[in-house]
A and B are shown apart, each in its own frame.
Chain A
C-alpha cells in the first residue's frame, strides 16, 4: 500500500505558499491570458514559483485524497531525458510538473470508475496550474503525446503510478505567436440538439 508515500506530496500542497492570499487576481483574466507556450526563455523557474504551481495543482478537485502524485522536475538533465523520450515535447521549457495517479489506490478506493475519474482529476490539476501560471509571469504547455512506459522509465515511476499529463513550465518569450482562436464550444440549451436562442 502506498498511502504513506502518497501523503507527502498531498501534505506539501495543503498550505498556501507565502503571498498567495496577498496577491489576488481575476481568474477570468487568467483564462484569457492562458495559452499553450512552446518558446520559453532559458532561465530557470524560481523554486518559490514552482511551489505555487504545486499548490494550485493540489487545490484542484480529486475523487479521493492521496491519489494524485506530482513529480516536479527542474534539473536540466531530467528535462533532457523527458525531451529525449517524449515525442510530443515540442518546446524548450526548463521545468515541468508531471501529474500522476496512484492506480493501485484508485482501484482499491474507487474501482473501475476510478480510471476516468482520475484522468479528469489530473486534467483539473493541469487546468489549475494553467490558470495560476499567467499571474506568476509563467507560461505552460500541456504535453500528452508520449508512451507511458517512456515517462515511467525516465522518472523512475513505480508501475502503479500512472503519468497522466506533463506540464512544461517556463518564462515565455516576450511575444509568443497568437493562440488559435477556437474557444467556442457547441452549446445546447435544456436538451441536446436544441436550436440556439434567437
Chain B
C-alpha cells in the first residue's frame, strides 16, 4: 500500500478550512467517515507541526503519521481491518501519553 499524498507543511488556515468543512460534512455522512476525517486531520496536523519553526521534531508523531497514511483508506474497503488498525494505534497512543506524562 503506497502512502496517501496528503499535503505537507500546511497553514493553520488550511487545517481550519478542512475541519470546518468536515464538521459540516459529518452531518450528512456515516460515522465511519467522521473517523476518516479525524484521522486525516491528525496526519495533516502532524505534518503542519513538523513544518513549523520552533517545533522540535517528534519521531513518534512522524511514525503515527506514516501509519495513518498507509492505513486510512482501509476505511473504504477493509472496514474491519481499519478498525483493528485504529484500535492498535489508539492503544499505542494511550501508552505513549502515559509514558510521556510519567517521564
What is the CA–CA distance of A19 and B80 in the complex, to the nearest angstrom? Answer: 47
Number of residues on chain B facing chain A (CB within 8 A): 22
Number of residues on chain A facing chain B (CB within 8 A): 21
Query: Which residue in chain B gives the minimum CB-CB distance to A177?
Result: B2
A92 touches B5 (CB 8 A): yes
B77 CB contact (under 8 Å) in A90, A145, A182: A182
What is the CA–CA distance of A198 and B10 in the complex, to the nearest angstrom? Answer: 57
A84 touches B14 (CB 8 A): yes
Please list 24 pairs of residues, one from A and one from B, whose beta carbons are closer than 8 Å in the complex, sorted by A's number: A39-B4, A39-B5, A40-B5, A84-B13, A84-B17, A84-B21, A85-B17, A85-B21, A86-B21, A87-B18, A87-B21, A87-B22, A87-B40, A88-B25, A90-B6, A90-B40, A145-B25, A145-B29, A146-B21, A146-B25, A147-B21, A147-B28, A177-B1, A180-B77
Interface residues of A (CB under 8 A from B): 38-40, 83-88, 90-92, 145-147, 149-150, 176-177, 180, 182
Interface residues of B (CB under 8 A from A): 1-2, 4-7, 13-14, 17-18, 21-22, 24-25, 28-29, 33, 37, 40, 73, 76-77
